[in-house]
Amino acid sequence: MASITLDNLGKVYPGGTRAVGDVNIDIADGEFIVLVGPSGCGKSTLLRMVAGLESISEGEVRIGDRVVNDVEPADRDIAMVFQNYALYPHMSVRQNLAYGLKNRGTPKAEIERRVKEAAEILQIGPFLDRKPRALSGGQRQRVAMGRAITREPAVFLFDEPLSNLDAKLRVAMRLEIKELQKRLRTTSIYVTHDQLEAMTLADRLVVLNGGRIEQIGTPLDVYRRPASTFVASFIGSPAMNLLDAKAVPHLPGTAHAGTIGIRPEDLSLAEDGLIEMNVMAVEELGAQRLVHGRTSGEAITIALPSDAPLGDTLKLGFDRKNLHLFSRDSGARID
Amino acid sequence: MIENRPGLTFLAHLVLIAGVLIVALPVWVAFVASTRGATDFMSGTIPMWPGPHLIENYSRMLDTGLSTSGTPPVGLMMFNSLVMALSIAIGKIAISMLSAFAIVYFRFPFRGLAFWCIFITLMLPVEVRIVPSFQVVAGLGLLNSYAGLSLPLIASATATFLFRQVFLTIPDELTEAARIDGAGPMKFFRDILLPLSRTNMAALFVILFIYGWNQYLWPLLITTDAQYYTIVAGIKRMADVVDGLPQWHLVMATAILAMLPPVAVVIGMQRLFVKGLVETEK
Ligand SMILES: Nc1ncnc2c1ncn2[C@@H]1O[C@H](COP(=O)(O)OP(=O)(O)O)[C@@H](O)[C@H]1O
Ligand SMILES: [Mg+2]
């Protein structure tokens, strides 16, 4: 068990690419932190710096009270789960789970106990003597997690562990990971580009963009009060509508804003609606129907109940408190 | 491609059988010759069916050898060849695996230079550097020794490249997982790289063993003591008679014996060999 502090962390790759900069995060003991952002925003780099797989160019990583900048990965008391599982193909599941412990000189009986325990937790007991190639993707992912659990580390690091699984399995595993972390109370950092996965797993979200932190907060905080247009468009599905304030001048109380945001589910049909929308496409989702269109040249989407009436033009209303206002220059939230 | 037409099947078999016959005929002729008496070759026609002298010829070669040509018994020459071929194969695999390991996994100064130096040796096979190699070996006093027979042939750029390619196919994450699992470089080499390259090592072993066994020019050059003659060079010495006729029946018996170890290696390692060449999943 340990807290983690990232202090002004930065990474410049040889060759001059800046992947990460000015990252400050305080992670509490037992907390589940999710780093989320689009591909190439530096999530993996950040995680790998914590793991010790990538050298640190600026700032400090502390695990517990110890600065670990120059500590080997094996000595940082961490365990990592990789996207492609990274199981040793020539070892049985049992050997995969035991390998790290064996290298540490853990007594045989203790190794056996921990392997058995992890196998029970993850229900991989029946496969213990199989090679990874004889397992399905989901089973391999379990083994990869088992390998992390047997280590009983202070910190779990996950780099997109579910990305190689099919959609249904992903949802199931997501829940399991969450439960597992609740049960073990191990501080965890989890990287994903999937905002839904991030929302469901995180105690706190860290939204990254271009190697910088855009916002840190609980999933609901981030959803309800996105700190910038980037976060607003990234978190939530369907994405929030971002309208140029000049294009829709008739909304009251928005004079000082550059961009006005409103979530598709916060819009509704209204006779006296202020926004007039030309319908261009409709997506049926079953419970909902998403209507895409334009208002004053700006793209806009609205989520309607599946029995809502449709037409070529719709009049849309909203509640003033559901508007999000952002500055024109920086895209930052203004209240 | 799976075709199911009797005509094609027939044709395919015909071509294959013709191929086998063409390859097997010389071997058959050699075998027939090795079962004949000394005078059977004087008539001018090559006999095509085995004669009655099989046991006599072979036991003579294994026992005393062909003393008129100055070669020792075949057994000793085969042993020499075996030592040489094994040293070359194992030595090459060991050295090239370690160099590939260094090149792929370590960042050291002049790494690029080291890589290119190894690369350049591709252009310098034994035949090209035979005079300087001979001088060096002679200078080190290694003429007529097993070390002299095998050491100069051990360095191998080809095998280094092969292992480099093998190591490059091993995902970085696996290396990183091992690092997190507390495996230092040598432990990683032993526990992960070695087992993952097993089939490639086997395939290479087969190729290199045959390469070593078939060495001709180098052993001919550096062995003057019959104690260290290898079988392939020995056959040449037997066939080289100054006056009189070569003892073809005995030479052929030796040739057949010389073929056996490579054949045994190929058959024994066939499955691993094929796996090593076609396997891609790591
Ligand atoms: N080894 C490397 N050398 C140079 N640049 C790299 C290296 N690894 C990643 N990058 C760059 O750093 C940025 C962040 O990469 P990464 O952390 O892998 O992003 P993410 O995991 O969020 O998709 C990218 O622009 C990528 O091109
Ligand atoms: Mg990544």
What whole-number distance in Å separates Cα of residue A214 and Cα of residue A212?
Answer: 6
- Asked whether the beta carbons of A295 and A276 are under 8 A apart, the reply is yes
**Domain of residue B268, CATH code:** 1.10.3720.10
Model pLDDT for residues B171-212, shown as the tens digit of each residue: 999 999 999 999 999 999 999 999 999 888 988 899 999 999
Q: Which of B236, B250, B217, B257 is nearest to B76 (CA)?
A: B257
Pocket test for ligand 1, best of A45, A46, A82, A193 (most atoms within 8 A of CB): A45
What whole-number distance in Å separates Cα of residue A60 and Cα of residue A50?
Answer: 10
Q: Which of B167, B154, B183, B170 is nearest to B94 (CA)?
A: B154
Is the full-model pTM beyond 0.90?
no
What whole-number distance in Å separates Cα of residue B197 and Cα of residue B191?
Answer: 11
Q: Which of A163, A179, A146, A130 is nearest to B181 (CA)?
A: A146
| Per CATH, domain A4-229 is 3.40.50.920 | no
Q: Which of A304-318, B154-168, B235-249, B254-268 has the lowest mean pLDDT?
A: B235-249
Indicate yes or no: CB of B181 within 8 angstroms of CB of A100: yes
Top pLDDT among B102 and B5 is at B102
Q: What is the largest CA-CA distance in chain A?
A: 75
What number is the average pLDDT over the span B92-96? 93
Q: Is the peptide bond before B52 cis (omega within 30 degrees of 0)?
A: no
What whole-number distance in Å separates Cα of residue A265 and Cα of residue A287?
Answer: 13
Parallel/antiparallel/unpaired status of strands A32-36 and A204-209: parallel
Residue spans per domain, chain A: 4-229, 240-334
Pocket lining: A39 vs ligand 1, CB cutoff 6 Å? yes
Task: Kindly state whether B3 is in contact with chain A, defined as any CB-CB distance less than 8 angstroms.
Answer: no
Inform me whether the pLDDT recorded for A93 exceeds 80: yes
Query: Is residue B39 within a helix (H) or strand (E), and if so which, with residue range?
Result: none
Helices B74-105 and B231-239, packing angle to 10 deg: 140
| Residue with tokens 């075996």, as numbered in its chain | B82
Give residue A11 CA to ligand 1 midpoint distance, Å: 10
Total domains in chain B come to: 1
Q: What is the ipTM of this complex?
A: 0.87
Q: Which two tokens stand for residue A260?
A: 């006005």
In a domain, B41, yes or no: yes
* Structural domain boundaries, residue B184: 6-278
In a domain, B23, yes or no: yes
Letter string b/e over residues B51-71, b meaning 16 or more CB atoms within 10 A of that residue's CB:
eebbeebbebbbeebbeebeb
Q: Which of A105, A135, A100 is nearest to A118 (CA)?
A: A100
Percent of chain A with pLDDT over 90: 70
| B:177-236 residues touching chain A, CB 8 A cutoff | 177-183, 187, 191-192, 195-196, 198
| Residue with tokens 């860290």, as numbered in its chain | A206
Q: Place A158 in a pLDDT band, splitting at 50, 70 and 90.
A: very high
What number is the average pLDDT over the span A279-285? 92
Q: Which of B4, B146, B145, B148 is nearest to B83 (CA)?
A: B146
Q: Which of B71, B27, B75, B61 is nearest to B263 (CA)?
A: B27
Q: Whole-angstrom distance between the N-terminal and C-terminal Cα of chain B?
A: 26
In a domain, B75, yes or no: yes
Give residue A40 CA to ligand 2 midpoint distance, Å: 7
What whole-number distance in Å separates Cα of residue A238 and Cα of residue A299?
Answer: 13
For chain B, give the number of residues.
Answer: 282
Q: Which of A86, A173, A93 is nearest to A132 (CA)?
A: A93
Indicate yes or no: CB of A82 within 8 angstroms of CB of B173: yes
- Asked whether the beta carbons of A2 and A154 are under 8 A apart, the reply is yes
In a domain, B219, yes or no: yes
Task: Kindly state whether B170 is in contact with chain A, defined as any CB-CB distance less than 8 angstroms.
Answer: no
CATH of A240-334 given 3.90.79.10, 2.40.50.140, 1.10.150.310, 3.40.640.10: 2.40.50.140
